[in-house]
Amino acid sequence: MSRFVRCPHCNLPHDAEEDATCPITGKAIALERKRDIERPPVEPVWRMSIPPADVVEMEESPSVTRLFGITIDRKYRVDDMIGRGGMGVVYRAEHIGLGKRVAVKVLLRGHGAGSDAKKRFDREARAAGRLGHPNIVQVFDLGELADGSPYLVMELLEGQALSTRLGIEGALPIGDVCSIVAEVLGALEAAHAGGIVHRDLKPDNVFLTATGGVKLLDFGISKTSDETMSLTRTGAVVGTPYYLAPEQARGERNIDHRVDLWAAGVLLFECLTGMLPFAADNYNALLAKILTGRPTPPSQIRPSIAPELEQVVLTALAFDAADRYGSAAEMRAALLEAKKAPSPLAPGVDDVIRQGARMREDLSISGESPTLDLHAAGYEEHPEGDEEDPTEVSDSFVFSDVPRPPATLPDYEGEPSIEVDFELPPDFEAS
């Protein structure tokens, strides 16, 4: 019978009759009798094609690079995978010398030197690494695996993405929204001061930590002010479509920090209303809305929004960049001032509106017909469409099956008429 020995380096079983060294790490296997495993002559559980590097790609998922149990550059011991995307995988790891928990992001094999993915990966590391700010994810290290796959080491975050919270709650409490977006604007202020435009601000790239902090992620398509060439060809649109400023939608090359302020306005609108200011079921229709439509005043969707806060949203979403805030600092100051403004509705009514809207959405997803109407609270209803959400955008656009209700009224004139009824709970008391 074959004798299998568990390798102390990669933690996988290898045939002791054939392998004196680990085929994965290239290190000697210590043949300790107490670790020997007697097994029948069958194929190992893992059927693998071993590359000449630290990397093992499993046949069951060839697009995913797995590094479980591997030590990178004799410093970072990889424990498990915590996330993956189209271009990279993120692992939970530990710095052996410091005992510090970190996240290691590895670019998938196939995105080699010279590729756009590799350039964006390097850009993310450089941009985040040079910006020491409490609201920007920290990058500690950058390197390459033995097979040439680049990796970067970042702080390990515990919590959830803003997109996750929006998916659970829909529209968020107004105070929370102002605090979250204010911290995002603080991060943008630091980035802009460093000559960096993020260009891809969206809920997926805003992380809410378990300790109540906010972190801005993913500077992969950011642009520095001294760059003369874009990572994409002339006229290509870079960013996530729903958060594109008009000048980005037109494919202009000479954009500046005000595209980030537009995206912050979209983020603010979405967190306040649970809707997007511009949405469509295909890319061309979406661009047309961004370039020709007008966002619905958010108070028409959520009447508890104070006029001062609504003005912050609409200023950020001004079609002409010159009509937006001049800086992230200016927008942040206006937002924090607007946060102090009282709601036009009685205390407690906003919670009822949020609960009713969420219940209506849940019932809609389940196929039931909701009967909630919100006239008594001053709530104005807008029809939900079949709009979808893109996952990621560069030169091509992919729309997923996540429904996103529209909030655009291209021909908005005055207050649209609506007749709705609303029944408050028996124990509700407005003070």
Active site residues: 200
The answer to whether 240 and 132 are in contact (CB under 8 A) is: no
Query: How many Å apart are CA 259 and CA 25, to the nearest integer?
Result: 46
Residue with tokens 């000479």: 254
Query: Please, are residues 221 and 231 in contact by the beta-carbon 8 Å criterion?
Result: yes
- Residue 167 neighbours by CB distance under 10 Å: 12
Burial class (CB in 10 A: 0-12, 13-18, 19+), 139: buried
The crossing angle, in degrees rounded to 10, of helices 307-316 and 258-273 is 140
Q: What is the Cα–Cα distance from 9 to 6, expressed in whole angstroms?
A: 9
Q: Which residues of 184-214 are buried (b: 16+ CB within 10 A; e: fewer)?
A: bbbbbbbbbebebbbbbbbbbbbbbeeeeeb
CA–CA distances in Å: residue 26 to residues 38, 50, 65, 148, 230: 23, 11, 18, 17, 41
How far is CA 6 from each of CA 16, 35, 44, 93, rounded to the nearest angstrom? 9, 7, 12, 21
Determine how β-strand 3-6 pairs with β-strand 36-38.
antiparallel
**Separation of alpha carbons 430 and 348, rounded Å:** 7
Which amino acid makes up residue 5?
V
Residues 6+ apart with CB under 8 A from 311: 334, 338
Distances (CA, A) of 330 to 182, 209, 211, 334, 341: 11, 25, 27, 6, 17
- Order the strands of the 56-58 sheet from edge to edge: 48-49, 56-58, 65-66
Cα 254–chain centre separation:
25
CB atoms within 10 A of CB 330: 15
| CB contact at 8 A, 219 and 123 | yes
- DSSP state letter for 197: E
The residue among 262, 268, 271 whose CA lies nearest residue 317 is 262
Largest CA distance in the chain: 84
